[in-house]
Structure 1
């Protein structure tokens, strides 16, 4: 099965601090992988590095066939990152945000509409400015942007944060559907039991490195 993420002795710096201190990790197409570890362990840095947002300064880093050390921008249209920052434009409406980011990823307008419907944003909220949304509604909008872009690799940093129980279940369904469709998902979550139920494999990160021997992967 195709390897989507291949890291060997990968090092990334935040200033002079090694956010990743020699990570070894392989993730295959269709896997759902849960990243475990305390705050500051390097989980967010790993996700950002795989998205091409944090430069790798040494080691090997290949994502979706792109060498991130040679060109980390090339991977960005094929990857969807849900981070702590929403990445939304406050002055634009929900629909305008989702359509803008879908168009940037060369997705069809129908993909934006379908994503808003999937996240319950196709009613009155579609025409509301992001600045007027609650934290949970902003999170739904960010998720709709990711879904609309139809990425091959989903990188989810605390995807359940700020959501009610219904919305958390919705996120879980979207992750399962994406994996069945062939997408690859790497998720960091403090909702361990919920995220572990989605994952076929768990990886522990501490001190910017992957700890222990990886579990045998299975595709859900």
Structure 2
């Protein structure tokens, strides 16, 4: 099976600073991988690099078969990136935002309804403008949009942040379902418990490099750490 992500000696300079300083990483298609490391380790940059949003150099930088050194744009329609800020239109109502996402990705109404139910976005909430939602509610809308988009590669930066426990559980179920359906998932987190429950492997970054790769240890439940 072809790798979803294949990086060899990948370097990314942000204002001349090496945010990625020679990353070697292979993620197989259909795998779920957790990125760990302190702030500034390069986790967010690595996710953005996989989404084709960061200029790269190196021996090899391929995502879903696309050469990101030669062409960063072509991969973008195949990946879904959720960063710290939800990519939403503040003036749209929740239901309009979801319909807009469905139209962009040719999703059926049943898929929208399933996303609404999964992230508890029904009832009076559907008519509320995005800008009037709490941070957690906006993140739920963004996750629903990601579900509707059905990307081949899911890239999530601290995906559980701002969510209540039921929404966190819904997110974990959604990611597991995505992997079962053949998608690949990479997410960065500081929450040890969530990483252990969800991911098959954890990749530890430090100083813009991959410091260690190991099977994710298992636990009976989520345990948050700083």
TM-score, reference length from structure 1: 0.93
Give the Cα separation in 2 of the matches to 1:89 and 1:19.
29
Give the Cα separation in 2 of the matches to 1:216 and 1:197.
12
Task: Specify every segment of 5 or more residues in structure 2 that has no aligned partner in the other structure, as ranges.
Answer: 217-226
Give the Cα separation in 2 of the matches to 1:174 and 1:130.
22
Give the superposition deviation at 1:106.
Answer: 4.0
Q: 1:89 to 1:48 in 2, by over 3 A?
A: same
Give the superposition deviation at 1:103.
Answer: 2.7
Matched, 1:21 2:21: yes
Q: Secondary structure at the match of 1:57?
A: coil
Q: 1:173 to 1:216 in 2, by over 3 A?
A: closer
What is the number of equivalent residue pairs in this alignment? 216
Counterpart contact for 1:8–1:22, Cα < 8 Å: yes
Give the superposition deviation at 1:98.
Answer: 2.2
Q: Please give the per-residue CA displacement for 1:51-107, whole angstroms capped at 9, x wherever unaligned.
A: 111121333111111111121111111111110111111000112222223333343
Matched, 1:189 2:189: yes
Q: 1:21 to 1:105 in 2, by over 3 A?
A: farther
Give the superposition deviation at 1:30.
Answer: 1.2
More divergent stretch after superposition (14-23 vs 58-67)? 58-67
Give the Cα separation in 2 of the matches to 1:122 and 1:70.
43
Match of 1:126? 126
Match of 2:65? 65
Matched, 1:36 2:65: no
Give the Cα separation in 1 of the matches to 2:191 and 2:81.
18
Matched, 1:46 2:46: yes
Task: Specify every segment of 5 or more residues in structure 1 that has no aligned partner in the other structure, as ranges.
Answer: none
Matched, 1:176 2:169: no
Q: 1:159 to 1:216 in 2, by over 3 A?
A: closer
Give the Cα separation in 2 of the matches to 1:106 and 1:56.
31
Give the Cα separation in 1 of the matches to 2:99 and 2:53.
22
TM-score, reference length from structure 2: 0.90
Matched, 1:91 2:91: yes
Give the superposition deviation at 1:215.
Answer: 3.1
Give the superposition deviation at 1:203.
Answer: 0.7
Q: Please give the per-residue CA displacement for 1:103-149, whole angstroms capped at 9, x wherever unaligned.
A: 33343444333322221113221221001111110010010111110
RMSD: 1.6
